[in-house]
Amino acid sequence: DAMVIQNPRYQVTQFGKPVTLSCSQTLNHNVMYWYQQKSSQAPKLLFHYYDKDFNNEADTPDNFQSRRPNTSFCFLDIRSPGLGDAAMYLCATSRDLGSSYEQYFGPGTRLTVT
């Protein structure tokens, strides 16, 4: 089945220690998104890639970076995690920006910062 895969499902990191979360997709979609969802909150878009073009949301902290080496993979790098960065991180895809109303989500990575 075509899908969106996130690894790891659970990640524990120390305060200030860089961490990378991974997302891959077999849908061959052009757009990949990263969302942050804190407990009992709505998912919040951090950034997206349309093919190789990166688009950062205005209020996404500089601490968050992303890489997309090819169509299938996208990474979220948190350079110096703080306690406030503990959250569920969701990766999503859509065929293109025009069909962004139909996004396919991965299961998420729950990040704990100690």
Partner 1 sequence: DQQVKQNSPSLSVQEGRISILNCDYTNSMFDYFLWYKKYPAEGPTFLISISSIKDKNEDGRFTVFLNKSAKHLSLHIVPSQPGDSAVYFCAARAGSYQLTFGKGTKLSVIP
Binding residues for partner 1, per CB under 8 A?
A: 4, 6, 9, 31, 40-45, 48, 50, 57, 90, 92, 94, 97, 100-108
Smallest gap from residue 114 Cβ to partner 1 (A): 22
Cis, peptide link before residue 8, omega less than 30° from 0: yes
CB closer to partner 1 out of 40 and 70: 40
CA distance 8 to 23: 9
CB closer to partner 1 out of 22 and 80: 22
Smallest gap from residue 22 Cβ to partner 1 (A): 14
CB closer to partner 1 out of 19 and 92: 92
Bridge partners for 66 per DSSP: 76
DSSP state of 100: T
Smallest gap from residue 55 Cβ to partner 1 (A): 8
* Contacts for 49 with CB less than 8 Å, ≥ 6 apart: 31, 32, 55, 66, 68, 74
